[in-house]
Structure 1
Amino acid sequence: MSLIILDGGMGRELHRRGAPFRQPEWSALALTESPHIVTETHLDFIHAGAEVITTNAYAVVPFHIGRSRFQNEGENLAQTAAQLARDAVEQSGKNVQIAGSLPPLFGSYRPDLFDVNHAAEIALPLINGQKNIVDIWLAETQSSIAEALFVRHLLRDDEREFWVSFTLEDTHPHTEPILRSGETVADAVAALMSENVAAVLFNCSQPEVMADAVGVAKKVMDTHSGSLKMKIGVYANAFEPQTEQMNDANDGLDAIRPDITPEHYLQWAKIWCELGANIVGGCCGITPEHIAQLQIALKYN
């Protein structure tokens, strides 16, 4: 199975480029205040070698833009995010796929806030706004099995590939990799095996915890002979290690680790690929320079 290169962290890259980026809206601000920077950022990731780019819809949820604005504008903002990605692909002239971002519905790293009774009223506008434009669905930064499966079931009849990316607990060591809900990666992967999920990925966590998750995912898939063999992917972040007291992705801008240079990140990516990953990109703090390094070293060497 050939390697697929993803883009990097869209929100932090927008911030780095001077796009409007403040609490609580975060990256959603650029959709209306600086859409040209969104398109330019997508283009730079494409030129760096990304073969799949993800829409800038991550912060288009009530948690960030407020319930009233989401009810009035959420679907249109999601459509704008998808269209800006499509514009970038068309301008590039390259064969690049677009993943429609389906973010955590009630806040990143907060499995305790997931409310199945109100989840559809947030997820459906995101889906409806992007469905006529995107090529792949990506439920990303999922903290629990329940939320990932909920979103999967909403799109059960959609023929496009559905990818799930889990965020991992990375504040202190564990004997086995776990989600931020405390559920094991082994259980999470097993839960997806019968759901026609095309890829399981791990994102928005420290690079140091990703290798074990890839190894567990590969082992679970190998033991389910005859079941769908999902692709395995990683797009880690470059955040400084957090304490449990700091472990809320929405409190403020986390510091970026100076040691995760493009060259250093490549060394992590090589390990993930050796263990079975066939999708690699980056999350928060991973730039077009990082993606270019992955493309050159992993695709052509």
Structure 2
Amino acid sequence: MTKGITVIDGGMGKELQRIGAPFGQPEWSALALIEDPDFVRQAHQNFVDAGAELIIANTYAVVPYHLGPDLFAARGAELAALAADIARDVADTSERPIQVAGSIPPLFGSYEPWNFRPDDAPALWDVLVKAQAGKVDLWLAETISSVEEYRSVAAVLADRPEPLWVSFTLSDSLPADADPSTWCELRSGESIADMADAVRGQVDAVLFNCSEPERFEPAIKQLVEALGDDAIPIGAYANAFEEKEEGYSSNSVVLKLRDDLTADAYVATAQRWIDAGATIIGGCCGIMPNHIEALAETHRR
């Protein structure tokens, strides 16, 4: 890869759907874990074959929001452990070094900071942490919508020896009078500066994910400025969703994908993130192995 650039994998859910795995709402990517986990292995392998240097364990939907509270209580730990085991095995059998990130996802709905329940979150996240511990190289708290949510998950992981990466999701709701080249904020409405103050000295990398790719360049620039001399690795992995409809809920519908975000277009967009200061790049929902292959080929040593 280009010196200093790490390419991570793409969107697990949409890749599972593409290869014919059991897939649908509300279980999303967890349905394949439940019904036919070999598809999860194949999806990971597809991203490794495309050139990804890091794969994310398929635990994103292993939460009560997607499984329901009863199934999570009965099988959540088992499914999270299975997801981590599969990712670990794919990494360990690869012909080149592959890292595994343990996904620590939103518990109460993606993009829904108003639904965060700080009293309930630690015990639920602890299930996922204990199930994946010893199987992953680092922790990735992803699609984090607010500073409060970040602080809660960071506290759960505080005693773990593995590095902690945290990835925030950005609002896609650009105000009518906003300048798209500079406007960005977390889904909670908090600023990048507020977030930078919260993570300063506490994490090993900060990323942005599961938002429109157009939102990332200004966010990265603002994060670089806000961190100043406290600089740490910065990353970005966007989704390819069409604009979400009013009242969208992340476990109710399967969103359609944009048709303009080709592999070449994604590489060009990611280059702007790199120019802004990112050193970790990949994809989220709807970013497929062909996108990751194009990124990897572009930044191959």
TM-score bin (small chain): over 0.9
Q: Deviations over 1:64-107 (max 9, x none)?
A: 10111111111111000000101211232321000000000111
Q: Report deviation, 1:251.
A: 2.6
Q: Deviations over 1:216-273 (max 9, x none)?
A: 1111112xx3x3x221000000011224x14433331111001101000000000000
Pairing 1:218–2:224 present = yes
Pairing 1:48–2:55 present = no
CA distance in 2: counterparts of 1:62 and 1:73, whole angstroms: 11
Query: Could you tell me which residue of structure 1 aligns to residue 240 of structure 2?
Result: 238
Letter in 1 for 2:278: A
Letter in 2 for 1:208: E
**Contact 2:11–2:288 (8 Å) recurs in 1:** yes
CA distance in 1: counterparts of 2:250 and 2:197, whole angstroms: 27
Pairing 1:178–2:178 present = no
Q: Report deviation, 1:156.
A: 1.1
TM-score, normalised relative to structure 1: 0.95
**Contact 1:171–1:242 (8 Å) recurs in 2:** no
Pairing 1:281–2:282 present = yes
Q: Report deviation, 1:16.
A: 1.2
Query: Could you tell me which residue of structure 1 aligns to residue 76 of structure 2?
Result: 74
Q: Report deviation, 1:185.
A: 1.5
Pairing 1:208–2:231 present = no
Pairing 1:4–2:6 present = yes
Letter in 1 for 2:252: D
**Contact 1:109–1:247 (8 Å) recurs in 2:** no
CA RMSD of aligned residues (A): 1.3
CA distance in 1: counterparts of 2:156 and 2:102, whole angstroms: 14
Higher mean alpha-carbon deviation, 248-257 vs 261-270, is at: 248-257
Q: Secondary structure at the match of 1:117?
A: coil
Q: Deviations over 1:191-228 (max 9, x none)?
A: 10032x01110000001111000101111112xx3x3x
Q: Deviations over 1:143-170 (max 9, x none)?
A: 1111111111111121211011011001
**Contact 1:98–1:136 (8 Å) recurs in 2:** yes
Query: Could you tell me which residue of structure 2 aligns to residue 39 of structure 1?
Result: 41
Query: Could you tell me which residue of structure 1 aligns to residue 152 of structure 2?
Result: 150
Query: Could you tell me which residue of structure 1 aligns to residue 163 of structure 2?
Result: 161
Pairing 1:270–2:271 present = yes
The total of aligned residue pairs comes to 294
TM-score, normalised relative to structure 2: 0.95
Q: Secondary structure at the match of 2:114?
A: helix
Letter in 2 for 1:187: D
- 1:245-256 aligned at under 5 Å gives the runs 245-256=246-257
Query: Could you tell me which residue of structure 1 aligns to residue 298 of structure 2?
Result: 297
CA distance in 1: counterparts of 2:100 and 2:9, whole angstroms: 10
Letter in 2 for 1:116: P
CA distance in 2: counterparts of 1:248 and 1:298, whole angstroms: 36
**Contact 2:25–2:254 (8 Å) recurs in 1:** no
Q: Which has the higher contact order (CA 8 A, sep 6+)?
A: 2
Q: Secondary structure at the match of 2:119?
A: helix
Identity %: 45
Letter in 2 for 1:248: S
Gaps of at least 5 residues in structure 1 are: none
